[in-house]
């Protein structure tokens, strides 16, 4: 469990599960959020809705200027990370993206089967 006072570099980026970006090192070493507190990216328990929305927007602004935002987002989608803002997306937004990907993949498989049968 992540606590709001834990730095993101220690709490939110579990290095054993992350694939290297290139020979220079893993993608998260270039993440802008490494300088921010995890509390910005992860909700405290029982956070009021208005506070959550404000905090998430602030986290997304950090993500928007990050050079590894796409890698971070893909990491969170592939794991999948169930909590927090990753790659500019909240957990709920990532669930939507994953559902869309599953539907797209199912449509592609269906189209492939129809084409092979026809």
Known binding-site residue numbers: 33, 63, 66, 72
Q: Which one-letter DSSP state was computed for residue 65?
A: T
Q: Binding site for [4Fe-4S] cluster: which residues?
A: 33, 63, 66, 72
Q: Burial letters for 82-113: b for 16+ Cβ neighbours within 10 Å, e otherwise? A: eebbbbbbbbebbeeeeeeeeeeeeeeeeeee
> Are the CB atoms for 49 and 74 separated by under 8 Å?
no
- In the numeric block, the tokens 């500019």 are attached to 88
């Amino acid at each position: 469990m992540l606590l709001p006072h834990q730095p993101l570099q220690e709490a939110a980026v579990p290095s054993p599960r992350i694939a290297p970006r290139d020979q220079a090192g893993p993608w998260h070493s270039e993440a802008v959020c490494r300088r921010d507190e995890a509390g910005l990216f992860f909700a405290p328990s029982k956070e009021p809705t208005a506070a959550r929305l404000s905090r998430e927007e602030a986290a997304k602004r950090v993500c928007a200027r990050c050079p590894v935002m796409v890698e971070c987002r893909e990491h969170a989608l592939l794991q999948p990370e169930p909590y927090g803002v990753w790659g500019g997306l909240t957990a709920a937004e990532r669930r939507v993206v994953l559902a869309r990907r599953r539907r797209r993949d199912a449509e592609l498989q269906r189209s492939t089967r129809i084409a092979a049968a026809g």
